[in-house]
Structure 1
């Protein structure tokens, strides 16, 4: 029986002549279409041998398989999604959204030439970092500013420049792991530094740092544990104390702030977090922080501090490897300028707006989505008071009051419902709670409500 079925499997050359594949050959090229057909035929042979046939053993069956496979390939890749999770800085969804002014600058720079490394005054080669350095200095109250492609790179560059081959003193409680399994100990080792752990996980005192200093000490590293909290029987050393100790022994103090803030967010009900300028004013020689977290800009690692140290970093061969690209630099420039605008200009930054939204505003948005969905017997739609998260490793213990729209249907399980929403032309990512899909209005934008409503209806086949 299997042999007879195998004989029915169509030939590749015959399939390539079919008119249905002409448009795919134009889009993907003959070789890719051929490989896709061959994959389908291989799969079909295996299914025949296992008596588990899912592909129709006809030319049309294999053609349908090839077309659907190529359609999925065309839709795959980086694309816009609707974030309905309520996690404002969702690392897997690209973290911070950029501002409207940053989008305009991005388009201006992306589709034409720019003065990236060209001095328009002298007509000679310039530095790509000039466009952000003055603004960084103003915002951080530091001597100099610099930027690389992410904060892990910033820490790596700083330590490689300052303390390569020397001991770097750090509290055991600050040997943290950041996103994607990147760990501070490995960053230190990669920089060429030697880890010198002091204290314990829950308690480190100034005496622990002082006892660890010797002739081979290269730097003291302070890592802000923004993505977790140790509570209870704890003790840590204040930055100004560490700065005094570092100065006494003529050692640089490097502070990895992680998220990084230019302004306190306490007026939004969030707990106090050290700002960049506070870290500088407390005596840090170098401060590093991310551009795409609480700052609300593009992926980047910002470095501020002593001019003599930052000038050395610029000459480090790693700088070329870790440098920021022109598109990220354009977005960062506009983001920094927003912070320098008077009258709360930084509130034009989407991350700040998202955190600042009140329950009343969110309820209005929720009602708009509910109105689109109600009147369909296939759906149960309700508003829910719930909690959002800041995300991005920031304020791990903090939740923000929010309004969500809950949706459920007797015709489809929550798991399948959620999965199919992720396969829409504009994918929707939400959360599941109490056997309902939960769409958090804090991270859904007003101009996304129509697309979100249509996606939900399409999955349930309420509309075609």
Structure 2
């Protein structure tokens, strides 16, 4: 005979009661009370619908543990610092180019108080929000004028819709590319109200190919950066000087340079912004957050008249960045022009430090033997920049008990996640992309992790 005391208990704790539990305080601080409340309700509902609860009630069910699991899962979706041990300096999944700490500190007071974003201090009247940037960009790459938008995709789109809507735009077959997120050049031309005129072949397009395709309805020739792939072997690119020399007055030469390469010396194949401007390109579009190493931004540099036309376009208000982006770019370019270390992009800084990285890798391999082995690896710029370039770098192959994939997953669960990669079922950490400010916590965390196996 079953007594009342043996009956299953179906009473779950109240939401408000659970919100007071000490174990959930940290999640309220990091996720917010409303979001934790929502997760508690979802967890309770899942428990009520489970077969275990229907059969045995709360017996054997740890409600707090179930809520914590859901909170931990959601917490991993929050943006947080990670350590880049992939060997890819500008990693799209990891936030692309990190801002140098000196630059961030430089603009912090400006962005935590009021600033003269659209106020001219000389006369107290409303002014333009670009500050010193056009002058700095002129000193940097020789452009007559410049315009800042929120990314390079916006720069290309604004240029097309502002200068070529309803007209023909000539693009080489080999440059009708798609970059991350489905940004396809033919689609962008269509959305801009332009008619795509295709010339050349996948691997060869000459200056004459462009010139032969020009009509009275042609507004521009668009040259496009190939971003994350390259064509090698039997190829030929147009002589840009010959092209500019023979262009009719009504046709503009627009260049999506993409990467933002300027005076950096670690690429022999990539044409710089200044190269295109000196060759006679009317406008050059490029990223502020790739090789330059600034915040995510798009920069259009070149002819003053065309820049002013774009600045007055109605879409400019949709694409303009805020003061955080503008102030970071301003500080970065001042430091770059003054040849300070903090004015270098992350790729340039890391490539410069490769000899030091080798010494550091040798030390760590010795410290963590037999679980770590020194490896000669390759580093890449990444982020849709310099796809053909590879640089000698150094790192470690971690040989720990169990499967490499499980260790890769566990490194992502560390307080400051370490993002490595697998190569032939080996766990690799490329030390060349670990920032100076991350080195101490990287060593501390990995040392603790490895010592758990030594014990």
Moved more, 434-443 or 34-43: 34-43
Mapped pair 1:166 → 2:167: yes
1:232-288 per-residue CA deviation (whole Å, 9 max, x = no partner) reads: 332221222222232x343111011010222141xx4x3232111111110100111
**Residues 207 and 240, structure 2, Cα contact 8 Å, conserved in 1:** no
1:238-277 correspondence to structure 2 within 5 Å: 238-246=239-247, 248-265=248-265, 268=266, 270-277=267-274
CA 1:356–1:20 in 2, change beyond 3 Å: closer, same or farther? same
CA 1:83–1:60 in 2, change beyond 3 Å: closer, same or farther? same
Name the SS for the 1:180 alignment partner.
Answer: coil
Alignment correspondent of 1:112: 113
Q: CA deviation at 1:72?
A: 4.2
Q: CA deviation at 1:34?
A: 4.4
Q: CA deviation at 1:25?
A: 9.4
Q: CA deviation at 1:309?
A: 0.5
**Residues 207 and 238, structure 2, Cα contact 8 Å, conserved in 1:** yes
Instruction: Give structure 2 stretches of 5+ with no counterpart.
Output: 1-5
1:139-186 per-residue CA deviation (whole Å, 9 max, x = no partner) reads: 121211111011110011111111111111111111011122211112
Name which of 366, 374, 386 aligns with 2:377: 386
Alignment correspondent of 1:431: 421
Number of aligned pairs?
Answer: 447
Name the SS for the 1:396 alignment partner.
Answer: coil
1:138-287 correspondence to structure 2 within 5 Å: 138-246=139-247, 248-265=248-265, 268=266, 270-287=267-284
Alignment correspondent of 1:134: 135
**Residues 9 and 41, structure 1, Cα contact 8 Å, conserved in 2:** no
**Residues 152 and 187, structure 1, Cα contact 8 Å, conserved in 2:** no
**Residues 117 and 125, structure 1, Cα contact 8 Å, conserved in 2:** yes
CA 1:356–1:56 in 2, change beyond 3 Å: closer, same or farther? farther
1:364-383 correspondence to structure 2 within 5 Å: 364-370=359-365, 373-374=368-369, 380-383=371-374
Name the SS for the 1:398 alignment partner.
Answer: coil
Q: CA deviation at 1:457?
A: 4.6
TM-score, length-normalised on structure 1? 0.88
**Residues 179 and 227, structure 2, Cα contact 8 Å, conserved in 1:** no
Distance 1:49 1:61 in 2: 12
Moved more, 77-86 or 12-21: 12-21
1:291-440 correspondence to structure 2 within 5 Å: 291-342=288-339, 348-358=344-354, 360-370=355-365, 373-374=368-369, 380-410=371-401, 412-440=402-430
Q: CA deviation at 1:81?
A: 0.6
Instruction: Give structure 1 stretches of 5+ with no counterpart.
Output: none
Moved more, 75-84 or 286-295: 75-84
Name the SS for the 1:125 alignment partner.
Answer: coil
CA 1:346–1:73 in 2, change beyond 3 Å: closer, same or farther? closer
Name the SS for the 1:394 alignment partner.
Answer: coil
TM-score, length-normalised on structure 2? 0.89
- Deviating 4+ runs (over 6 angstroms): none
